[in-house]
Chain A
Amino acid sequence: MGLAVLLLVFVFGLVIGVPVAVTLGLASLAYLTYMGIPAVVMPQKMYAGMDVFVLLSIPGFILAGNLMNRGGITHRIIRFANALVGWVRGGLGLTNVGASMLFGGITGTAVADAASIGGVMIPGMKKAGYTPEFSAAVTAASSTVGPIIPPSVPMIIVGALSGISVGKMFLAGAIPGILMGIAMMVTAYIIAVRQNFPRQNWLGASEIVRSFGGAFWALAMTAIIIYGLLSGIATPTETAVIASVYAFVVGAFIYRELPIREVPKIIIDSAISSAAILVLVGFANVFGWILVSERIPQAIAASVLQFTDNKYVVILIINILLLFVGMFMETIAALIILFVPLLALAQAVGIDPLHFATFAVLNLMIGLTTPPLGVCLFVCANIARVPLTPVVIAILPFLVTNILVLFLVSYVPAIATWLPSVLTR
């Protein structure tokens, strides 16, 4: 009965639009009250949930991304991506995907990618003769590679929830992220040929070299992050703070586009984004503690295993469930609530936790572009100034592509696990 109270309050809170974090708190409080457990457990568990070493890196990575973003990185990355692939038919679509892949190595959040790249690319594509809905769709779809290619805020959260190494997860995301990017470039190209979208002039190898020189300092941040984590000389938190200091120096003194007076505002904005995640993690820790006390992860695993213990069918079930949830729920919230229960199920059928973490994060990132609740869709449709429906239709080919990559990663574990196994021996 206690469990019914928990779930009823949770669903009610979600439906009436209470913030997800508060909903988790309300449901937990209702459960504790019903079961006669003292409410002091709540602040205690909230504290324990937020006081996790791995979470320390979240504000740093968000700040580094925001500083780079404001420091003039966007147009340099777009110029470099354009020099590489802009000359192909529908080249600006490919540039858009390429820029998201490069940008993903810096920010770690999809919405930041969609807003930054979209702010420059969508008006540029419209001006060059691309339809606004295609421009918005390709930007939204490609922004989802951001949290797959390291660094990744969702992966840090998974690390905090499950104890899986954040460094290994970052590496596990690299190949799937690149695969997703390439697949979306192919999709953008096919659409461009069919719709006869324009191509840019080939600007020559010298433009590639020149634009690489411009983007070098920004791209080097990805290398610093990967090196910091792989070499073991720095923890994820230290790497994130070093990346922030680096981003500040590059933006303020090398690119000279980061106004120093804006730094406090950027810090505050980064802290607000981080706080929202931490509050969610804090309340979710109480909720998760109740679920574990009620043995819900085991119950979910047992009920699915009663139906099938076939690993491949279980992967299919998990993916369908996450895709469905991702359509209606914010990604981080879905991850926090569902990851641990589903991890128990995945481990019960012998799925490697690192592999599971990779395809679960990839799956929920796709949810950022699925209606009715696809944050990146909203952001890009808003920038393109078009209604949501045509963008939803235009994004369908990209969704199919991303789901195909998801299933490839889900059924071929080596795509995720090979790189960490080689580099972290």
Chain B
Amino acid sequence: MSVTRLETFFITLCRAGILLAFGALILSVLIQVLGRTFGSSPVWTEELTRFALLYIAAFGAGLSLRSGDLVNVDIVCESLKGNWPWRLRLLSALCTAGLCTILILPAWQYVSIGRLQTSPAVEVRMDFVHASVLVLLFILLVFSLIRIIGMVLGSDQGLPDRKEEVS
């Protein structure tokens, strides 16, 4: 699978994950509000909303790195001469990938701890919820690796792929 196809696959996956999580958030809040207005709201809505938010962060993290929403201070590095801005962008992507790689195992440990717990209202095993941090780090790792490979191969300058401004 080429890097471009891999990137497209992960972008599609993240977008689908975002839509699912955002949909769950909106739906559970609306059920909460309507339930309270016309009787009593179910007890699980608040918990589900919180879990949905964690997965919005998980699936959105990689795309925010790609779009430049995950901000950096670039006044020093981008003002340097010659090839230095490119080198520092590569170093920055390597730092991101390195951090995520190192944290994958501790995140897995954290997920494992969740196996012993169940959420009080939704009654879902907490490892499925703790896994949001693992997903976040994994997806951030994937998009930083894609950037690194693109930069090394010359197809990517390492600059953010700014999303279209909502006009």
Comparing A52-60, A166-174, A348-356, A395-403, the segment that makes contact with chain B is: A52-60
Residues in chain B near residue A279, CB distance under 8 A: 57, 61, 64, 70, 136, 140
- A267-B18, A268-B18, A275-B64 given as contacts; is B53 within 8 A of A56 (CB)? yes
C-alpha gap A332/B77 in the complex (Å): 21
- The B60-115 residues at the A interface (CB cut-off 8 A) are 60-61, 63-65, 67, 69-78, 88-89, 91-92, 95-96, 99, 102-103, 105-107, 109-110, 113
Q: Does A44 contact B (CB under 8 A)?
A: yes
Are A22 and B53 within 8 A (Cβ)?
no
Are B167 and A115 within 8 A (Cβ)?
yes
C-alpha gap A23/B74 in the complex (Å): 13
Residues in chain A near residue B96, CB distance under 8 A: 18-19, 22
Residues in chain B near residue A373, CB distance under 8 A: 73, 75
- A237-B49, A275-B57 given as contacts; is B72 within 8 A of A19 (CB)? yes
C-alpha gap A59/B49 in the complex (Å): 11
Comparing A96-104, A129-137, A240-248, the segment that makes contact with chain B is: A240-248
Q: How far does the Cβ of B8 sit from chain A's closest Cβ, in whole Å?
A: 15
**Which of A40, A275, A328 is the one whose CB lies under 8 Å from B60?**
A275
C-alpha gap A125/B136 in the complex (Å): 44
Most chain A beta-carbon contacts within 10 A, residue among B21, B61, B67, B95: B95
Are A115 and B165 within 8 A (Cβ)?
yes
Residues in chain B near residue A329, CB distance under 8 A: 73
Chain B interface main SS type = helix
Are A20 and B18 within 8 A (Cβ)?
no
Are B33 and A43 within 8 A (Cβ)?
no
Q: Does B133 contact A (CB under 8 A)?
A: yes
Are A268 and B57 within 8 A (Cβ)?
no
Residues in chain A near residue B125, CB distance under 8 A: none
Question: Of all chain A residues, which has the CB nearest B102?
Answer: A29
Q: Does A294 contact B (CB under 8 A)?
A: no
Q: How far does the Cβ of B149 sit from chain A's closest Cβ, in whole Å?
A: 18
Comparing A8-16, A77-85, A306-314, A410-418, the segment that makes contact with chain B is: A8-16
Q: Does A224 contact B (CB under 8 A)?
A: no
Q: Does B148 contact A (CB under 8 A)?
A: no
Q: How far does the Cβ of B85 sit from chain A's closest Cβ, in whole Å?
A: 8
Residues in chain A near residue B76, CB distance under 8 A: 15-17
Q: How far does the Cβ of A141 sit from chain B's closest Cβ, in whole Å?
A: 19
Q: Does B166 contact A (CB under 8 A)?
A: yes
Are B106 and A328 within 8 A (Cβ)?
no
Residues in chain B near residue A25, CB distance under 8 A: 99, 103
Are A50 and B53 within 8 A (Cβ)?
yes
Q: Does A47 contact B (CB under 8 A)?
A: yes
Residues in chain A near residue B130, CB distance under 8 A: 43, 47
C-alpha gap A330/B69 in the complex (Å): 11
- 4 tightest Cβ-Cβ pairs between the two chains A and B: A275-B60, A278-B57, A276-B69, A276-B64
Are A17 and B73 within 8 A (Cβ)?
yes
Most chain A beta-carbon contacts within 10 A, residue among B32, B53, B56, B103: B53
Residues in chain A near residue B103, CB distance under 8 A: 25, 29, 39, 42-43
Q: Does A234 contact B (CB under 8 A)?
A: yes
Are A273 and B75 within 8 A (Cβ)?
no
C-alpha gap A19/B78 in the complex (Å): 14
C-alpha gap A244/B25 in the complex (Å): 12
Are B73 and A112 within 8 A (Cβ)?
no
Are B71 and A330 within 8 A (Cβ)?
yes
Residues in chain B near residue A244, CB distance under 8 A: 26
